[in-house]
Amino acid sequence: MTATEAMNAPLALVQRVMQTKFYKILLKNGVDYFETEEFIFVHGYIPCTKVEETAPPVYTYNPHWRDASPGEWDRARWLNGMEMAGVHHIIEEGKTIVCGHFHANYGHSYLDRKCPQYGSDAIYTTYRREGLIALDGATATTGIVNILKLEV
């Protein structure tokens, strides 16, 4: 599908994705997180506790996130890690959470006020702050793939 076709027929896109090897094999064998001495790797973020149903909602750190239910992990996969770390101040002490899902430009734009969120002056390079590295370069629209090289 082209991007226009996908935008105009999102349900058809979902049905096509569900027929791919990526969906049938790779996603089914994924893990909720991977942790080393220094890092925690997640898609969106670690599970957090939503304490207020306001707009926007308020979140707090969940000290039992490693034991979160499948439903809590499903919700955490779609969180904006930069918002969780930068707005709600949720980090894991002594670790750096490496996340994707939400384009890194959110951090450069909204949190650090370095650039507009979209347009030619937007910054899509890796976003870093205490306890967080956000990698998503909005690849589908920008063609940017951010890479994190870790020395072992």
Q: Which residue has the higher pLDDT, 30 or 131?
A: 131
82-127 pLDDT per residue, tens? 999 999 999 999 999 999 999 999 999 999 999 998 889 999 999 9
Domain ranges of the chain: 1-30, 31-142
Instruction: Report pTM.
Output: 0.84
67-86 pLDDT per residue, tens? 999 999 999 999 999 999 99
E strands, 6-52, are 34-35, 39-41, 49-52
Residue pair 60/88 in contact (Cβ under 8 Å)? The answer is: yes
Q: How far apart are CA 59 and CA 10, in angstroms?
A: 30
Mapping DSSP to helix (H, G, I), strand (E, B) and coil, where does residue 130 land?
coil
Q: What are phi and psi of 59, to 5 degrees?
A: -120, 155
- Tokens 């973020």 found at: 45
